[in-house]
Structure 1
Amino acid sequence: MTEPLEVYALVQREGRWWLPYGPEADAEALARVFNSDCSVVFLGPDGGSLAYDVTNEGEEVVRLEAALEAVAQEVIFDPQHSRPLNTAIWTEDPALLGLVQEIWDEHFATGEAEKQKGGKKPRRPYIEQLRVLVTDLYLAWQEDPLLCLGMPFSEGAWDSQSRYNPLGLSKHLVVLVKQLQAAGLVRVSAGSYAAPGAKGNRTGRIQASTELQKRFEALVVDGRAIQVVPSECIILKEGEGDYSRAVEYQDTDNTLCMRQVLTAYNDLLAQTFIDIPTLEQPWAVRQDNRGKDIRVAVGSRHQLVRRIFSRGSWEMNGRFYGPWWQGLNSKLRSQIFINDTPTVEIDFKAMHIQILAAQQGVELPPDPYELPPGQFPDTDPDEQRRLVKQLVLTALNAKDTRSACSAFREGLKAGHPGKHLKNTSLQKTINTFSEHIPALADNLCSDVGIRLMFTDSQIMERVITHSTLLGLPVLTIHDSAIIPYTHSKVLEETMKQAAVEVVGREIPLEAKALGLDHDSWKDDPVYVRLDYQTCRETERCEGYLTRLKEWENTTGREVVPFNIL
């Protein structure tokens, strides 16, 4: 074969195999490949490949089309674009129930009836397990047709009696998936495991096939009939990365108390309408580090908060995870409304190094990330500060310098010049920071980050507890919180007090916008604040107003904007 070599994965749409560029770009993409003197390898769905020396002659294109038509199964284009299978999703929607029954009758009824004649009955009947599977495939397809669901395929991963398995799904779910794949209704990408903590480790992925998507399109589904059943919100995990797994535990006074706090908080969020008024569709779009657009589903079904502990320890991690606003960048978060009220986000500045400084009884300089120029080539002071901050925080979470440097480069967006920086160059910047703040030097590249996460989670737990008692919904990120802009002073005081209770002193705060109750307004004429209020009152689009009305109809609650205290 001639060089260069180009590699493409294939996806199937409308019964044909295409390069994965989207329907409008297929012709352009094919033309670019077929009008170049290069060798092209098309990855087949079975892991094999179809290799061709491509020339400008149409004859080669015809030969390629014939080969592609012979491929039997569909493939998942991007297994990394995924979310976990929601094992707590349930529906009583007639349209979805009808589809589940159709699929059951077509592919399962006879064989499963024979299996279930004798022996122990499953905790959850198999047809109801199929209901969970089809419902979440439908929701994923609604969010983004290219989104896939992650699920373990090992039988040992499914325990119908587990505290994390509220609907009692069993290992038979894997059998159902394989039968759906054989029937051409789902696409499957096998999981991979190289070594503990390896970058390529991941669970299996599933996605609705073209045929199942067509059946979804024919449905008229009442979204109000799809609910998330109550599930465990205090989670203890062991292992690393995508192969970490939740483990069982015995409740203690501590876990009971944490669950009580989080249940009350989730109940308050469920009674609160949280959305973005500029979104016509119920999703926001952000870019990942590869520059790829990622949809983030917005709505009450995606705001359940869980507290997750790591490495089998109640003193590692413990942060609050799960709600959709954590998947947004700061610009999108600034557009969130809570009960139709604009919001303010307040950050703990340099939270982790402030915690370390408090624990060691030292004071930090005004800007701990400000180092002498030249730490990174061709960067202005603002960009250098951002990169220094990213490198230091990465080093706090890393076990050694090598992994810190690797993780730093991986965290940069595609095409960023920092991706080419050598370990020696990054090590010099780490050393410069250590000289800048000697008291923190021993904490860099020492795996201290996961314990700092536990400390910051204790602070946020106090913020959540106090705000919930006041009936004020705050949206936590990890080192910041969002609140209606009518109540920013309450949040500021709560965050200050929470830090004092946990680390013994206040941690500096930074608000990304002014609250209406901020003291600075006292010196301004009333019209200045009214102008600001008008500016923050973003125009509500039709999609947002429709979702607001649907939320009111579903919950039976009226959305009442917050007023200044």
Structure 2
Amino acid sequence: MDDKSQLTWEEVSEEDDGDPGYENFSRIDFNLWTDDPSVLRASEDLVSGLKGHKTLNRTCMMVLLLNLYRCWLMDETKWLAYMRGKDRYCLCRKYNKNDISWTGLTRSVDHLISLDHIEHKIGFYFRGVVVEKGKCSRARLRGSFADLLESEYGFTDSVIRRHPQEEVVILKDTDKIPIDYKDTNHNDADGKRKFLKRYNELLEGTYIDLDAGDYKAKESMWVDLSRKHCYRVFNNGKKTLIHGGRFYGGWWQGIPSELRLKIIINNMKVVECDYSGIHINLLYAKEGIDFNCLGKDAYQLPEYDITREYRNFFKVLLLAALNAKNDGLAKKAINRKFNKTPYKFPSEKPNLDEAIKHFKNYHSPIAHHFFKGVGHALMNTDAKIAEYVLRKMTEQDIPVLSVHDSFICPKIHEDSLISSMREAFSRHCGFSLERAIRFYRESESPIKRARPSRVPRVNITYEEHSTNEALGVYSDDFMVDLTSINDSRLVNRIMNYDHNGEIAKYVSIPIEKEPEVPSMRIVPRRELIVH
């Protein structure tokens, strides 16, 4: 082919570089920071003679080096992904404490390229008739430069830190662009910020790992275990922080749901508890109705088969009905979801007009809330519920991982978690979960428990763990069994924490893609734009 604009980036890359593994990447983090003399000296030396403001150049080089070295520690083949588009660097100072500019960052990258210190691949954006697709630019350390940073400048994993004034309460406008806001007594931004600092400190000192085993995902992925730092995102540009507010940032939010029970916290097994149909519950509560007393499932309509695929479909329909401002936009959102993950839904797409009609009839007491964009307001309520749960557990120094309305904690603390969830629900919804306890083991329950699956065990117990006399149970019921783990690197990490209390900070876990049946597809002609 002579016309490169018809090629995908992968095809061009294979032609040039073999198989460079561009999907194994970590996004640049502008909030990495350090005051370590070794990094500052390396940054100073590298920008010597470089055009532009010396201090800004040095800061941009410092952040770039920290990001590149962080990727190197996780995996020597991992790429750092960043944007070369100038419009991507319009962050206000509130969220850009290092004052990273497009000019300074690209100048630093280009300088390292000229010194042959990094490998680099320019990004792209395809604008096609059917598909729009793009990839960020990629960079990674060359082995010789990584060795130089460690031998000549003394780089170690301890030099990588986060900016002490990093903003963790983020406000976005209707275009999802972060915008400035002021702290007030009404929005309690400072209180939210202080709690997040305490919560992140607890997570930072907690060993959190994953036993992915031989799990295969729909798409290949790499889990970055160092991403434990959480923040909150509020929406729609309201200075009072009344829309959204969910917790983001943790790597556990990006893994398939089936893997969550394979998470390990301080060498302990975990349990996951979540609210079933929380937005349905909240909307009914607005109408003075306790949905759990109605005895019906939020997503199983009588006109449709009772299958996981239809249940997934009506969950997506509800999400679209709450976030879209009209049914036309809702249909577009549903179609996008169908096209992105068709394996999750019925093989034959239901008629959307009929499905919406049936759904509104099924939930007639709350149907007047649909297609009015109430989603962010509901998210704010479930975020308040999540905050209450996390605060209660953090006060007890119990690490809990939040996936919005779902919570993961060591199995030994399961009762404390459920108690906190009950309190939070009652406080913000007005109805007590005690009346719904009869559904506790059913799918209709507002809280449903997912327990760890049983695995074959051999007659070897976890080493050097005695009984817990207060609970009257063996700690082996709660601790991870090393003999059931096939990954030797995971066993080493567990043993290091068990004996030395050392947490492996920079770990990247590869999860392979399920084998696919080869199929033919037509690739439309696209316009190639450097990005």
TM-score, structure 2 as length reference = 0.72
Question: Which amino acid in structure 2 is aligned with residue 232 of structure 1?
Answer: E
Change in Cα spacing, 1:18 to 1:271, as seen in structure 2 (3 Å) is closer
C-alpha distance in 1 between matches for 2:25 and 2:174: 20
Residue aligned with 2:137, SS: strand
C-alpha distance in 2 between matches for 1:273 and 1:302: 12
2:297 pairs, out of 362, 367, 391, with: 367
Change in Cα spacing, 1:9 to 1:187, as seen in structure 2 (3 Å) is closer
C-alpha distance in 1 between matches for 2:8 and 2:114: 25
Bigger shift: residues 89-98 or 404-413: 89-98
Change in Cα spacing, 1:544 to 1:529, as seen in structure 2 (3 Å) is same
Question: Which amino acid in structure 2 is aligned with residue 533 of structure 1?
Answer: D
Map 1:75-474 onto structure 2 (within 5 A): 84-90=27-33, 104=46, 108-112=47-51, 115-116=52-53, 122=55, 125-140=56-71, 145=77, 147-151=79-83, 153-154=85-86, 157=89, 162-171=93-102, 172-180=104-112, 185=118, 186-189=120-123, 205-208=136-139, 212=142, 215-216=145-146, 222-230=156-164, 231-240=166-175, 244-253=176-185, 254-277=188-211, 287=217, 291-298=218-225, 301-313=226-238, 314-364=241-291, 365=294, 366-374=296-304, 381-412=307-338, 414=341, 416=343, 425-474=351-400
Give the corresponding residue for 2:488: 542
Map 1:509-524 onto structure 2 (within 5 A): 509-513=447-451
C-alpha distance in 2 between matches for 1:130 and 1:274: 31
Structure index of larger Rg: 1
- 8 Å contact from structure 2 (residues 9, 124) kept in 1: no
Change in Cα spacing, 1:326 to 1:286, as seen in structure 2 (3 Å) is farther
C-alpha distance in 2 between matches for 1:208 and 1:11: 19
C-alpha distance in 2 between matches for 1:506 and 1:201: 47
Change in Cα spacing, 1:271 to 1:77, as seen in structure 2 (3 Å) is closer
- 8 Å contact from structure 2 (residues 309, 344) kept in 1: no
Give the corresponding residue for 1:51: none
State the Cα distance separating 1:494 from its structure 2 match.
0.6
After superposition, what is the alpha-carbon deviation per residue over 1:323-364, rounded to whole angstroms, capped at 9, x for unaligned? 111111222110112211111110101111111111111243
- 8 Å contact from structure 1 (residues 308, 319) kept in 2: yes
C-alpha distance in 1 between matches for 2:33 and 2:22: 28
Residue aligned with 2:386, SS: helix
After superposition, what is the alpha-carbon deviation per residue over 1:308-336, rounded to whole angstroms, capped at 9, x for unaligned? 11121211110000011111122211011
Change in Cα spacing, 1:143 to 1:312, as seen in structure 2 (3 Å) is farther
Question: Which amino acid in structure 1 is aligned with residue 451 of structure 2?
Answer: A
C-alpha distance in 2 between matches for 1:9 and 1:556: 41
Residue aligned with 1:251, SS: coil
C-alpha distance in 2 between matches for 1:316 and 1:534: 38
Question: Which amino acid in structure 2 is aligned with residue 445 of structure 1?
Answer: F
C-alpha distance in 1 between matches for 2:180 and 2:372: 29
Bigger shift: residues 359-368 or 547-556: 547-556
C-alpha distance in 1 between matches for 2:35 and 2:356: 56
Change in Cα spacing, 1:248 to 1:286, as seen in structure 2 (3 Å) is farther
C-alpha distance in 2 between matches for 1:363 and 1:17: 62
After superposition, what is the alpha-carbon deviation per residue over 1:448-497, rounded to whole angstroms, capped at 9, x for unaligned? 11111111001111111111111111111101111111111111111111
C-alpha distance in 2 between matches for 1:260 and 1:94: 29
- 8 Å contact from structure 1 (residues 464, 474) kept in 2: yes
C-alpha distance in 2 between matches for 1:251 and 1:404: 35
Give the corresponding residue for 1:521: none
- 8 Å contact from structure 1 (residues 9, 77) kept in 2: no
State the Cα distance separating 1:214 from its structure 2 match.
6.5
Change in Cα spacing, 1:476 to 1:207, as seen in structure 2 (3 Å) is same
After superposition, what is the alpha-carbon deviation per residue over 1:52-109, rounded to whole angstroms, capped at 9, x for unaligned? xxxxxxxxxxxxxxxxxxxxxxxx966xx8654211223578997787577x2xxx53
C-alpha distance in 2 between matches for 1:411 and 1:146: 29
Give the corresponding residue for 2:522: none
Bigger shift: residues 469-478 or 174-183: 174-183
Bigger shift: residues 532-541 or 437-446: 532-541
C-alpha distance in 1 between matches for 2:84 and 2:383: 28
Question: Which amino acid in structure 1 is aligned with residue 297 of structure 2?
Answer: D
Residue aligned with 2:201, SS: helix
- 8 Å contact from structure 1 (residues 342, 485) kept in 2: yes
Change in Cα spacing, 1:94 to 1:264, as seen in structure 2 (3 Å) is closer
- 8 Å contact from structure 2 (residues 171, 179) kept in 1: yes
- 8 Å contact from structure 1 (residues 308, 320) kept in 2: yes
Change in Cα spacing, 1:436 to 1:482, as seen in structure 2 (3 Å) is same
Give the corresponding residue for 2:426: 500
State the Cα distance separating 1:134 from its structure 2 match.
2.7
Residue aligned with 2:122, SS: strand
Unaligned runs of 5+ in 2: 434-445, 454-471, 505-531
C-alpha distance in 2 between matches for 1:262 and 1:339: 20
C-alpha distance in 2 between matches for 1:322 and 1:227: 16
State the Cα distance separating 1:386 from its structure 2 match.
2.7
> How many residues are treated as equivalent by the alignment?
450
Bigger shift: residues 493-502 or 141-150: 141-150
State the Cα distance separating 1:418 from its structure 2 match.
5.1
Change in Cα spacing, 1:557 to 1:274, as seen in structure 2 (3 Å) is closer
Change in Cα spacing, 1:409 to 1:189, as seen in structure 2 (3 Å) is same
- 8 Å contact from structure 2 (residues 227, 251) kept in 1: yes
State the Cα distance separating 1:128 from its structure 2 match.
3.3
Question: Which amino acid in structure 2 is aligned with residue 388 of structure 1?
Answer: F
Change in Cα spacing, 1:188 to 1:506, as seen in structure 2 (3 Å) is farther
- 8 Å contact from structure 1 (residues 158, 169) kept in 2: no
C-alpha distance in 1 between matches for 2:331 and 2:25: 26
Question: Which amino acid in structure 2 is aligned with residue 312 of structure 1?
Answer: G
After superposition, what is the alpha-carbon deviation per residue over 1:278-326, rounded to whole angstroms, capped at 9, x for unaligned? 66xxxx9874xxx32111211xx31011011112121111000001111
State the Cα distance separating 1:152 from its structure 2 match.
6.7
Change in Cα spacing, 1:476 to 1:384, as seen in structure 2 (3 Å) is same
Bigger relative contact order (CA 8 A; separation at least 6): 2
- 8 Å contact from structure 2 (residues 232, 248) kept in 1: yes
Percent sequence identity over matched residues?
26
After superposition, what is the alpha-carbon deviation per residue over 1:390-447, rounded to whole angstroms, capped at 9, x for unaligned? 322232222322332232233245554959866x812211211111110121222322
Question: Which amino acid in structure 1 is aligned with residue 321 of structure 2?
Answer: A
- 8 Å contact from structure 1 (residues 85, 149) kept in 2: yes
Question: Which amino acid in structure 1 is aligned with residue 181 of structure 2?
Answer: Y
State the Cα distance separating 1:258 from its structure 2 match.
1.0
- 8 Å contact from structure 1 (residues 358, 503) kept in 2: yes
C-alpha RMSD over aligned residues: 4.1
C-alpha distance in 2 between matches for 1:417 and 1:307: 29
After superposition, what is the alpha-carbon deviation per residue over 1:249-301, rounded to whole angstroms, capped at 9, x for unaligned? 2112311111122111112112221112566xxxx9874xxx32111211xx3
